[in-house]
Chain A
Amino acid sequence: KNQVEQSPQSLIILEGKNCTLQCNYTVSPFSNLRWYKQDTGRGPVSLTIMTFSENTKSNGRYTATLDADTKQSSLHITASQLSDSASYICVVSAWAAGNKLTFGGGTRVLVKP
């Protein structure tokens, strides 16, 4: 069964600090992995999308890494800002899965001043 596990479930960090979120997946055959940011009550917004051959991708202060061998990804937030408070969702798609995406449970990040 295709699964995506994220850790931690939630974390609190101080403004200006860095943090790293983890994503492990068992989706096969792997097509791509995406990280989304979702503010409460709003739709998810794409941060990065990576295919099998990509190890790292950045979007401003967000840097995602992918290890397709160990089926792990991470999202690193640098110099956190209050506006980074949100849920971060790891989403994986598989080839021949039609248009179905497998969502992780998300990590809720709270940035405090």
Chain B
Amino acid sequence: DTEVTQTPKHLVMGMTNKKSLKCEQHMGHRAMYWYKQKAKKPPELMFVYSYEKLSINESVPSRFSPECPNSSLLNLHLHALQPEDSALYLCASSQGQGGTEAFFGQGTRLTVV
């Protein structure tokens, strides 16, 4: 199983809503990532978890809150988002440090209205 599964595939939320994005992998990978991708742009790193601990936060606004409940799951909690936060949110995982191959999920298309 080389899949990274993200749910939901699409999400529309209001600026006052609270929602969560979920990511799951069963490859035994110990590093998991959240990326944000705007149209026609490369993915931008948001957070990295290594061995279930937050290792990198790329100065992401606090309205995005990551959580890693266990080695297979990664969540991104959303609260009080802005319309400019609308984007494709990608989860990825890799076996370890940057030298290993990263597998990406299919993404969640988020629209903030």
Which residues of A come within 8 Å of B, CB atoms?
Answer: 31-32, 34, 36, 41-46, 49, 51, 89, 93-95, 97-101, 103-106, 108
Q: Which of A31, A45, A94, A106 contacts B104 (CB 8 A)?
A: A45
Partner-contacting stretch, out of B14-22, B61-69, B77-85, B105-113: B105-113
Distance, CA A51 to CA B41, complexed state (A): 25
B97 within 8 A of A: yes
A22 → B minimal CB distance (Å): 16
Q: Is the CB of B56 within 8 A of A100?
A: yes
Distance, CA A34 to CA B6, complexed state (A): 22
Q: Is the CB of A44 within 8 A of B104?
A: yes
Q: Is the CB of B42 within 8 A of A105?
A: yes
When distances are taken between beta carbons in the complex, the residues of chain B under 8 Å from A42 are: 106-107
When distances are taken between beta carbons in the complex, the residues of chain B under 8 Å from A31 are: 98-99
Is chain B's interface secondary structure helix, strand, loop, or mixed overall?
Answer: strand
A-B contact pairs, 20 of them (CB 8 A): A31-B99, A34-B101, A42-B107, A43-B92, A43-B105, A44-B43, A45-B104, A89-B42, A95-B99, A97-B98, A98-B50, A98-B55, A98-B97, A99-B33, A99-B48, A100-B48, A101-B98, A101-B102, A105-B41, A106-B42
B40 → A minimal CB distance (Å): 8
B76 within 8 A of A: no
Q: Which of A34, A41, A108 contacts B107 (CB 8 A)?
A: A41
A21 → B minimal CB distance (Å): 14
Give the residues from 25 to 57 in chain B that come closer than 8 angstroms, CB to CB, to chain A. Answer: 31, 33, 40-43, 45, 48, 50, 55-56
